Structure 1
């Protein structure tokens, strides 16, 4: 039987190793049967994989990869919130993908597809979700993409 972690690694991603920052908010919190995951940036270990604006220093392809990393980090925090029991996931309800782009850029949906396709590939039907892909004038640490999520669990 293939687990979500197997599918995750088959996609070529190492399981994230993220240390919670000392910030005045939680990376994820569960309220009843809903997990809210805070905005995730394309960080891998102690490094930021991509910086800059999409349409300038960052190509659409790299922005899609950044969105995939953000989605992987969402799953990392979700797994931690569920004590590793991802069988408790009922459905990813919604993700929002924020894109740090140059003025005039309009291919936000294409960038957001990086996160959406990753979740579908790893979680299958449980990864189907609603989504918004929104252009921003800037993001923390000058990353090109940030994503957050709302996930229903049992």
Structure 2
């Protein structure tokens, strides 16, 4: 068992099963040692959670949990891309988070902290990243949050 898998187990976290893309795109793509992962919404076993507008339909705290779930789905995609070896992740390079929120909402960064916190919790310093947190007028399937990311990975040994 690798370090990241051991950390997941220690925290009682199980990577969710992931559905195939819902449109004309790929879930991830390698570019050299960079792994680009498509945006993930807060979905578990094909069912959307935390649907609605943050600050109106759901609380910022629930938005934080939604972003955390998005990051967990990101890691499930990374795990798939790396044939189950999350220890090949050298670094999470960039995270972009989108929050479905009304124009007057100002807590985007605190919501996307849910994703950032989980990545650092599981990957340690390798999980620290640059980040953008944006507001969006709507997101796919009515999701409250969507998160995508770029990871630096080692070649398969």
- Shorter-chain TM-score: what band? over 0.9
Task: Check whether the contact 2:2–2:86 (CA below 8 A) recurs between aligned residues.
Answer: no
1:47-93 residue CA offsets vs partner (Å, 9 max, x unmatched): 11110000011101100000000000110111111111222111100
| 1:16 counterpart SS class | coil
Partners of 1:49 and 1:8 in 2: CA distance? 21
How big is the alpha-carbon RMSD for the aligned residues of Structure 1 and Structure 2?
1.4
CA displacement at 1:9 relative to structure 2: 4.0
TM-score scaled to structure 1, two decimals?
A: 0.94
Structure 1 runs (4+) deviating above 4 angstroms are none
Listed as ranges, the gaps of 5+ residues in structure 2 are: none
Q: Determine the C-alpha separation between the residues in 2 that align with 1:69 and 1:10.
A: 18
Offset of residue 145 of structure 1: 0.2
Cα distance in structure 2, aligned partners of 1:38 and 1:50: 19
Find the counterpart in structure 1 of residue 149 from structure 2: 149
Matched, 1:91 2:81: no
Q: TM-score, normalised by structure 2?
A: 0.92
Residue by residue, what CA displacement relative to the aligned partner does 1:17-55 show, whole Å, maximum 9, x if unpaired? 112135211111112100000000000012111100000
Matched, 1:49 2:38: no
Query: 1:95–1:147: 8 Å Cα contact kept in structure 2?
Result: yes
Tell me the CA shift for residue 4 of structure 1. Answer: 1.2
CA distance in structure 2 between the partners assigned to 1:11 and 1:66 by the alignment? 18
2:3 is the alignment partner of 1:27 = no
What CA distance in whole angstroms lies between the structure 2 residues aligned with 1:27 and 1:80? 10
